[in-house]
Amino acid sequence: MTGDLHTPRPVQAVFLDIGETLINEGEIYGRWADWLGVPRHTFLAKLGALLATGGTHRDLLDYFRPGFDLAEEERRRAAAGVPNGFGADDLYPDARACLSGLRGQGLYVGIAGNQPVEAAAQMAALGLDADVVGISDVWGVQKPAQEFFERCAQLADVLPDRVLYVGDRIDNDIRPALAFGMQAAFLRRGPWGHIQRDDEALRGCLFVLDDLAALPKLVADHNAA
């Protein structure tokens, strides 16, 4: 559905977040639960409780294994043949068509999210239809910092208010994108998308979505108005 924007501005570039926007992290969390020997439903229940009180996924891992060392655990998992990060099976089924549909309109399409350096190779292996892939730990700046969104606009070489940023987190995606002067689309999926609440921020969004399937047409209709 559309947001409450009083002055329609054409969208010339679209940037999409990675985790829970393009990549389904459910199985990734499930593999961590298995690794830590915690029932998956218990692991996810604690994740929801932490997110509701301002915690993070790092707090989740530390809760079940105090003093959790991510780098060491990933090394041990790799040695045991357990995949780290994400792959083609973790891609949401609406992701490829959405990206292609946006690029087919002649828009600049970027992918940019808070991810470790290793995610750059994982994203490249997916062969997604995008002009650029931005990884926070490669850029050296993370959301919600203004510099992250500034980098997106610079890469697209358009004014910030011509950029639509699409994400599932109100705190990391929607509020900072709007504050920087971008347009925003909130994607209501994944744990953050269902737990976080901010009606005022959502009223500022160009679109509020339940999936990515409708986004190309919504953008096309918006630009044709």
97-133 tens-digit pLDDT = 999 999 999 999 999 999 999 999 999 999 999 999 9
Range of the domain at 195: 13-24+88-224
Instruction: Give a yes or no: residue 33 inside a domain.
Output: yes
Q: Mean pLDDT score of the chain, rounded to an integer?
A: 93
pLDDT tens digits, one per residue of 140-174: 999 999 999 999 999 999 999 999 999 999 999 99
Give yes or no for residue 2 having a pLDDT over 60: no
Co-location of 146 and 46 in the same domain: no
Left (φ > 0), alpha (ψ -120 to 50) or beta: where does 59 sit? Answer: alpha
Is residue 187 located within the same domain as residue 115? yes
For residue 98, being part of any structural domain is answered with yes
Question: Is pLDDT above 90 for 8?
Answer: no
Judge whether residue 4 has pLDDT over 80.
Answer: no
**Position 20 confidence tier, pLDDT thresholds 50, 70, 90:** very high
| 33 and 144 part of one domain | no
Bond prior to 116 in cis (omega within 30° of 0): no
pTM: 0.91
pLDDT of the residue at 1: 43
How many folded domains does the chain comprise?
Answer: 2
In this structure, the answer to whether residues 218 and 118 fall within a common structural domain is yes
Q: Which residues pair with 185 in a beta bridge?
A: 166, 207
